[in-house]
């Protein structure tokens, strides 16, 4: 039954946004992690696209999304990465001296991604 490809051809974004919205405050998740939770494993890049397409007054905590290394990827818009870092620090997520968040500590651990320690 109509798993995906049923509602709209681009419900992908909606799923991605939904997952990001599930990220609790003070937590950070990686693109791949979100893509997987969104039902599109391997499409980590698309997550980045979705974030790029986010509206200005979005309620999606896009700043909680970082790459697998825990660092902030360089985006097309220089300076935005600093904004992301600022927002994360405002939520209690601090970066190390290398400019990386400790995913082992702040990493979001959703129930769907369990199975391994």
103 binds DNA (CB under 7 A): no
Choosing from 42, 55, 57, 115, the residue that interacts with DNA (CB under 7 A) is 42
43 binds DNA (CB under 7 A): yes
Residue 111 beta carbon to DNA: minimum distance, rounded to whole angstroms: 18
Q: Exposed e or buried b for every residue in 6-43, given b needs 16+ CB within 10 A?
A: eeeeeebbebbbebbeebeeebbbbbbbbbbbbebeeb
Choosing from 74, 111, 116, 117, the residue that interacts with DNA (CB under 7 A) is 74
Residue 85 beta carbon to DNA: minimum distance, rounded to whole angstroms: 12
Choosing from 10, 58, 83, 109, the residue that interacts with DNA (CB under 7 A) is 10
91 binds DNA (CB under 7 A): no
44 binds DNA (CB under 7 A): yes
Instruction: Return residues touching DNA (CB under 7 A).
Output: 9-10, 12-13, 30-32, 40-49, 51-54, 62, 65, 67-69, 73-77, 80, 84, 98
């Amino acid at each position: 039954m109509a798993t995906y490809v049923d509602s709209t051809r681009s419900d992908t974004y909606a799923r991605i946004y939904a997952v990001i919205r599930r990220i609790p405050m003070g937590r950070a998740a990686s693109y791949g992690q979100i893509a997987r939770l969104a039902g599109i494993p391997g499409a980590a890049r698309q997550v980045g696209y979705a974030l790029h397409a986010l509206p200005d007054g979005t309620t999606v905590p896009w700043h909680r999304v970082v790459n697998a290394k825990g660092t902030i990827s360089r985006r097309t818009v220089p300076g935005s990465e600093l904004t992301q870092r600022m927002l994360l620090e405002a939520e209690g997520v601090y970066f190390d001296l290398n400019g990386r968040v400790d995913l082992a500590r702040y990493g979001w651990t959703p129930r769907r991604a369990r199975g391994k320690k």
